[in-house]
A and B are shown apart, each in its own frame.
Chain A
């Protein structure tokens, strides 16, 4: 292991696990919401249409997943820096784009793939840094 890295291996593993949960619940939640809104979700501004949309099974699934996203992200922030969590979970932007490409027939230009590459690169760089630079330095 890198000797300059102050994070204990256990915390690093826990951080990886929670980063994965945060990203997956966010991406799958957004996808379920998007799918629900495109298949049957039709909001015309009336209260009834809003209720119908909320009880659409896909939208319900999306809301449940996004609730899990908020909770797991809060837990992650209890031991990891905000300046670590923000870029690492940005990989979700990429996965969202790929889900759109695979399952919703959205087009991805060369420029978008380049952007995707930048995000993946940035995520990997930040992921290699210590999880927390503010607490538990002398462990």
Chain B
């Protein structure tokens, strides 16, 4: 598979996983019981969470496949792309208020990850 197709899969599944996770955890409300079995039950008992773990696995395997055909220094900025995409979607879908300070921070982080890869 060509590397741009793999990057599309990685970014797409990472974004899907994080959106599902964030959406479900927000719906669940603040976690206050940290005993391990209770935590596992609340975290993994819901369909969106299971779907989110599935997408996480897809993204992990696609990342391994990408690492086999390209440099780490090419693969890492692909994950930086998901930072930007997720912030935009957090605003559009999760209705989070992204303040100017947060936009600035996200921009800096994205630029920084790209620089790391050069």
Interface residues of chain A, those whose CB is within 8 Å of chain B, are 11, 70-71, 73-75, 77-79, 81-87, 90, 93-94, 97, 109, 111-112, 114-126, 128-130, 133-135
Most A CB within 10 A of own CB, among B25, B29, B109? B109
What DSSP secondary structure best describes chain A's contact surface? helix
Contact between B112 and A115 (Cβ–Cβ < 8 Å)? yes
Q: List 29 A-B contacts (CB under 8 A).
A: A70-B56, A74-B21, A74-B25, A75-B34, A77-B25, A78-B25, A78-B30, A82-B19, A82-B22, A82-B86, A82-B90, A82-B94, A83-B90, A86-B18, A86-B86, A93-B76, A93-B112, A93-B113, A116-B112, A119-B113, A119-B116, A120-B112, A121-B112, A122-B112, A124-B105, A125-B101, A126-B109, A133-B97, A134-B94
Q: From B95, which residue of chain A is reached at the shortest CB distance?
A: A134
A128–B102 Cα distance when bound, in Å, is 9
Chain B positions within 8 Å of A114 at CB level: 115
CB distance from A53 to the nearest CB of B (A): 12
B residues neighboring A (CB under 8 Å): 18-19, 21-22, 25-26, 28-31, 34, 39-40, 43, 49, 53, 56, 76, 83, 86-87, 90-91, 94-99, 101-102, 104-118
Of B22, B28, B39, chain A has the most CB atoms within 10 Å of the CB of: B22
Additional 20 contacts, C-beta under 8 A, given A115-B114, A115-B118, A126-B102: A71-B40, A73-B21, A75-B31, A77-B21, A77-B22, A77-B25, A78-B26, A82-B19, A90-B112, A93-B112, A94-B116, A116-B112, A116-B116, A117-B112, A122-B105, A122-B106, A122-B112, A125-B108, A126-B101, A129-B105
Q: Please, how many angstroms separate the alpha-carbon atoms of A77 and B101 in the complex? A: 20
Tell me the complex Cα distance, A83–B98, Å. 7
Check if B22 sits within 8 Å of A112, measured CB to CB.
no
